[in-house]
Chains A and B, each alone.
Chain A
Amino acid sequence: MEHAGLADGELDAESADWLRRLSASDGAPRVEAERELYARLVRIALAEVNRRSGSTPVTGQELTDIAHQAAGDAMLAILAKLAEFRGESRFITWAYRFVILEVSSKLGRHYWRNPPVALDTGQWERLPDRLGVDPQRHAEAAGILAEVRRVVDDELTPHQRRVFVAIVVDGIPLDALAARLGLRRNAIYKVIFDARLKIRSSLVAKGYLDKPGMEQR
């Protein structure tokens, strides 16, 4: 497989065939290509929800339904963005990206139908597990955990604190929180990124961590 990075106009034969058929003005070949692509998207979506089934509270028929919804929405997005395909990968890889991202997003939204932990719960007693710092094994653990809590309480804005507690303390999946708060996942990630910087800086200042971290981007 040696397709990634092809310049425009250098499509491999299979990708060119997909584009030709999906763009055909003649209805029958186009419908057949759409049917074939949709079948592939459904297969990939079903495999993906199955692969993720151990890490989501969504189960059973709901998972199957999510897979079919993801395939349908991915199909619509692919057809709407067909002209944006630049041949930087095989067409089918580009198409599969849509369905994988749809599965991820939909699992995030469905998380709230039966969430194992509610938003704003704040399970601080689980922080040692979350951060992998065992007070039984490290005399410094109590100080580290207290400093993390202090930074979160004193140095983060209410919004940053809410996001940090949801993701890091309560273990709510990023896609689920993004769906609940109506934010892009990148916005959530940036909050956590900045919180990591602040916490590490503070732990270094207190002497718990001894090497400088990387600079902020």
Chain B
Amino acid sequence: MSDLDRLDRFLRTDPRDVGCGEAMAVLHIYAELAAAGQDPAARYPGVGAHLAACGPCSENFAGLLVAVTSG
């Protein structure tokens, strides 16, 4: 990926992006679907769009996924 592609990716916004509040409200469902090997973004595309763009929320998702899968 070129520098300009990376810049373009950072600047692009997804109209489905639900924002931090809505994404964190269903994070437990989203993480459990992911842990079960399903595609949570198919069920929650707005959450998937948000997690792809928001580093801090993505970090929360990663942490919860680790917690869920580690027991």
Asked if A184 is at the interface (CB within 8 A of a chain B CB), the reply is yes
Asked if A173 is at the interface (CB within 8 A of a chain B CB), the reply is yes
Q: Does A196 lie within 8 Å of B56, measured CB to CB?
A: no
The distance in angstroms between the C-alpha atoms of A97 and B54, with both chains bound, is 17
Identify which of B11, B16, B38, B60 gathers the most chain A CB atoms within 10 Å of its CB: B11
Q: Does B63 lie within 8 Å of A48, measured CB to CB?
A: yes
What's the minimum C-beta distance from B26 to chain A, rounded to whole angstroms? 8
Q: Please, how many residues of chain B have a CB less than 8 angstroms from a CB on the other chain? A: 44
Chain A residues with CB under 8 Å of B64's CB are 93, 96-97, 100
Q: Does B3 lie within 8 Å of A215, measured CB to CB?
A: no
Q: Does B66 lie within 8 Å of A217, measured CB to CB?
A: no
The distance in angstroms between the C-alpha atoms of A137 and B7, with both chains bound, is 14
Chain B residues with CB under 8 Å of A114's CB are none
What's the minimum C-beta distance from A130 to chain B, rounded to whole angstroms? 9
A20-28, A61-69, A154-162, A197-205: which lies at the interface: A197-205
**A-B residue pairs in contact (CB < 8 Å), sample of 10:** A1-B36, A4-B32, A52-B63, A88-B26, A97-B31, A100-B27, A174-B55, A185-B20, A186-B19, A215-B15
